[in-house]
Amino acid sequence: MIFGATGDLAKRKLFPSLYRLYKKGRLSERFAVVGVARRPLSDDEFQASVKTSVESAIKDSGELEDFISHFYYHSHDVTDSSSYLALKSMAEKLDTHYSLEGNRIFYLAMAPEFFGTIAEHLKADGLTDVDGFKRLVIEKPFGHDLESAKQLNKQIRKAFSENEIYRIDHYLGKEMVQNIEVIRFANAIFEPLWNNRYISNIQVTSSEVLGVEERGRYYEKSGALRDMVQNHMLQMVALLAMEPPIRLTTDEIRSEKVKVLRAMRPLEGDQVKEYFVRGQYGKGQLNGKEVPAYNEEPMVDEQSNTETYVAGKLTIDNFRWAGVPIYIRTGKRMAAKSTKIVIQFKDIPMNLYYQTEQTLNPNLLVIHIQPEEGITLYLNAQKSGQNIEATPVKLNFANKGIDDMNTPEAYERLLYDCMRGDATNFTHWDEVALSWSFVDKISDVWENTKEESFPNYESGSMGPKEADQLLEKDGFFWWPVT
Ligand code: NAD
C-alpha cells in the first residue's frame, strides 16, 4: 500500500522502480499495489497514471499492461477510521485473489505530519493484523528535531516493532554509497591505511545546482542542516568511519555505524561558529541564465534566516580517527551537481622528487557517488623521459563504463531490500536519534542568531568564503569536485 500514491515521489520514483523490479522478475505475479491518496480516482484512472509515470521514466515498457493490472486505488482520508476499514476489506480481498499469505508493506510517501496518525490507524483499524509479515516504510524527514522524532517513533512503535520499520535514506540505496564498505573492507591496500596514521582529512561534498524550486514552504522550516546533514551526510560519514563489522549482517553493520555517531564530538555554543558555516544563496548566473536569490523564491520570507548551504568540520573521538578532520559541505545553487568523497592521504616523510610546483601531490582516493559513479586514485609516477621529476597520474574506474546497463535506481534497491526483509540500508532509530542530537545543538544556535551576512554566496559558486577558511585554518583546501 502506497500512501500518497498521487504524489511526486510515487510518480517519479516508486512506480518506475517497481516496474524495473517486475521486468527483472524480482516481483512475482503474486503482488498487488494499492494506491492510497485523497483525490477520488477509479482503478482505471490510477492505472493510467501509473502507466504514464513509468513511460516517462523508462523507454522499454513491453510488459506495462500486465504490470499495471496489479494496481488498485483507494480514495482515503488519513484521519478517518471508516476509510481504513474500507481499505482493510479491499486488502483482504486482494490477499485472497493474489495468494499473498498476509504479507503487507505500507509505504508512507506523504507529508510527514501524517506518519504517526497513519501508523496508529493501521493498528487500531486492524490493517496490521496479518498472518504474514507487516512492514512500514517511512520517508524522510523523520521528525524535525530529536524531540519530534522521539514522538513520531513512539507513535509508529505502537503499531510496528523496530525490525518492521524501514526508515528511508535514499542515499543508502545508491550504488557507490553501498560501495564504500566494499572498497574499504575488500581491499588489502586500503583498510590498513584507513586511519589517522595515513589519512590527513576526509571531504564529503554534496552539491546541487537546483535552487529550492517550489518547495519553499517546506524548506523554510527545514534548511540544509535538517534536509541533508542530519540524514544523508552523516550516514556517509558513518560508513566511511565505522570499524569493520564482524559479519555483514544488518545488526552488525548498524551497530558499527551507531558507534561512529556516538564518537562524534558534540558542538556547543561558540564551537558551532568555529566548526560550522552556514550559507544562503544570492542571485547569480547559472548556465548563462540569471537566477534569483533564495529570499526572492516563492513562499520564502524576504528576511529568511534559513540556510541553503552548510559546511562543517566533524571530529570523531576514537583511536582510529583522533586528529583527522572530516569536512562536509552541502548546498543548493552551487556550481555543479556532484556528490563526492575525497580521502586525502598524508604526505610521505620526505620528497625526493619535484614537480613543476616543487611539491608532490598527496595521494587521493575519490569516490564519485553521483552523477558519475566510480573511483579515482591519484598517484605520482615518473614523468616520461625524466627520472627525477614526478607527475600526477589518475587511475580511474567508472562504473558505467564497465557495465553498460544503468545501475539500479536507489529506490529500486530499497524497495527490493524491504520486500526481502533486509533492513541494512535503512536507518535504525539509534542512528536517527544520535544524528538529531548532534544537529539540534547547531540548529539551536543558528535559529537564535540572525545571520546578517545572508545571502552570502552567489548562485553558481561553491559556497561562502568562510567554508574555504574552515579548511585553510587547518592547512587544507577543498579539492575541486567538478
Ligand atoms: P506530494 O505532496 O507530491 O504528495 C502527497 C501525497 O499525499 C498525494 O498523493 C496526496 O493525495 C496525499 N495526501 C495528502 N493529504 C492527504 C490526506 N489527508 N489523506 C490522504 N492522502 C493525502 O509529496 P511527495 O513529494 O511525493 O513526498 C512524499 C514524502 O516523500 C514526503 O515525506 C517527502 O518528504 C518525501 N520525499 C519526497 C521526495 C521527492 O522526490 N518528491 C524525495 C525524498 C523524500
pLDDT tens-place string over residues 48-88: 999 999 999 998 778 999 999 999 999 999 989 899 999 99
Query: Which set of grid coordinates corresponds to residue 170?
Result: 535514499
Residue 152 lies in a domain: no
pLDDT per residue as tens digits for the range 199-208 = 999 999 999 9
Tell me which of 114, 139, 164 is where a domain ends. 139
For residues 116 and 177, state if they share a domain: no
Distance 51 CA to ligand 1 centre (A): 19
Distance 168 CA to ligand 1 centre (A): 14
Q: What is the C-alpha to C-alpha distance for residues 230 and 417, in angstroms, rounded to an integer?
A: 23
Least confident of 141-150, 343-352, 383-392: 383-392
Query: With bands split at pLDDT 50, 70 and 90, how would you rate the model's confidence at 354?
Result: low
Q: What is the C-alpha to C-alpha distance for residues 179 and 194, in angstroms, rounded to an integer?
A: 15
Tell me which of 118, 139, 160 is where a domain ends. 139
pLDDT of residue 473: 97
Residue 149 lies in a domain: no
Least confident of 122-136, 164-178, 224-238, 355-369: 355-369
Residue 160 lies in a domain: no
Q: Please report the atom of ligand 1 found closest to the CA of residue 12.
A: 40
Residue 163 lies in a domain: no
Share of the chain above pLDDT 70, in %: 97
Q: What is the C-alpha to C-alpha distance for residues 289 and 349, in angstroms, rounded to an integer?
A: 48
Mutate to test the pocket of ligand 1, among 9, 80, 83, 142 (most ligand atoms within 8 A of CB): 9
Q: Is 475 annotated as a binding residue?
A: no
ipTM above 0.85, yes or no: yes
Residue 241 lies in a domain: yes
Distance 6 CA to ligand 1 centre (A): 8
Q: Is 256 annotated as a binding residue?
A: no
CATH number, position 55: 3.40.50.720
Catalytic annotation on 74?
A: no
pLDDT per residue as tens digits for the range 319-341 = 999 999 999 999 999 999 999 99
* pLDDT greater than 70 at residue 91: yes
**Span 421-440, average pLDDT:** 98
CATH number, position 467: 3.30.360.10
Distance 141 CA to ligand 1 centre (A): 11
* pLDDT greater than 60 at residue 96: yes
For residues 128 and 179, state if they share a domain: no
**Span 173-179, average pLDDT:** 95
* pLDDT greater than 80 at residue 461: yes
**Span 246-271, average pLDDT:** 96
Residue with CA closest to ligand 1 atom 30: 109
Q: Please report the atom of ligand 1 found closest to the CA of residue 39.
A: 11
Q: How many CB atoms lie within 10 A of CB 96?
A: 8
Mean pLDDT of the chain: 94
For residues 209 and 260, state if they share a domain: yes
For residues 220 and 328, state if they share a domain: yes
Least confident of 38-42, 110-114, 321-325, 355-359: 355-359
* pLDDT greater than 60 at residue 2: yes
Cα dihedral 46/49/55/58 (nearest 10): -70
Q: Is 337 annotated as a binding residue?
A: yes
Q: Is 140 annotated as a binding residue?
A: yes
pLDDT per residue as tens digits for the range 361-416 = 899 999 999 999 999 999 998 888 777 788 889 999 988 644 444 567 899 999 99
Of 312, 311, 281, 286, give the one whose Cα is nearest residue 297: 281
For residues 228 and 373, state if they share a domain: yes
Q: Are 327 and 200 in contact (CB under 8 A)?
A: no
For residues 218 and 309, state if they share a domain: yes
For residues 301 and 384, state if they share a domain: yes
For residues 107 and 241, state if they share a domain: no
Residue 446 lies in a domain: yes
Provide φ and ψ at 411, rounded to 5°: -65, -30
Q: Are 480 and 364 in contact (CB under 8 A)?
A: no
For residues 201 and 123, state if they share a domain: no
Of 110, 83, 330, give the one whose Cα is nearest residue 205: 330
**CB-defined site of ligand 1, < 6 Å:** 4-10, 12, 37-39, 76-78, 109-112, 139-140
Catalytic residue among 76, 232, 368, 428: 232
**Span 432-449, average pLDDT:** 97
pLDDT of residue 401: 46
Residue type, 334: M
Share of the chain above pLDDT 90, in %: 88
For residues 310 and 455, state if they share a domain: yes
Residue 148 lies in a domain: no
| pTM, rounded to two decimals | 0.95
Residue 390 lies in a domain: yes
For residues 268 and 214, state if they share a domain: yes
For residues 75 and 212, state if they share a domain: no
pLDDT of residue 402: 43
Q: Is 450 annotated as a binding residue?
A: no
| Count of domains forming the chain | 2
Residue 420 burial by Cβ neighbours in a 10 Å radius (0-12, 13-18, 19+): exposed
Q: What is the C-alpha to C-alpha distance for residues 244 and 236, in angstroms, rounded to an integer?
A: 15
pLDDT of residue 470: 98
HSE-CB at 139 with a 13 A cutoff on CA atoms is 21
Distance 279 CA to ligand 1 centre (A): 28
Could you list the residue range(s) of the whole structural domain that residue 8 is in?
Answer: 2-139
More confident residue, 21 or 359: 21
Report the 3 state secondary structure along the chain: CEECCCCHHHHHHHHHHHHHHHHCCCCCCCCCEEEEECCCCCHHHHHHHHHHHHHHHCCCCCCHHHHHCCEEEEECCCCCHHHHHHHHHHHHHHHHHHCCCCCEEEEECCCHHHHHHHHHHHHHCCCCCCCCCEEEEECCCCCCCHHHHHHHHHHHHHHCCHHHEEECCHHHHCHHHHHHHHHHHCCCCCHHHCCCCCEEEEEEEEECCCCCCCCHHHHHHHHHHHHHHHHHHHHHHHHHHCCCCCCCCHHHHHHHHHHHHHHECCCCCHHHHHHEEEECEEEEEECCEEECCHHHCCCCCCCCCCCCEEEEEECECCCCCCCCCEEEEEECCECCCEEEEEEEECCCCCCCCECCCCCCCCCEEEEEEECCCEEEEEEEEECCCCCCEEEEEEEEEEHHHHCCCCCCCHHHHHHHHHHHCCCCCCECHHHHHHHHHHHHHHHHHHHHCCCCCCCCEEECECCCHHHHHHHHCCCCCCCCCC
Look at strands 364-370 and 338-345 and give their pairing: antiparallel
pLDDT of residue 350: 81
pLDDT per residue as tens digits for the range 179-236 = 999 999 999 999 999 999 999 999 999 999 999 999 999 999 999 999 999 999 999 9
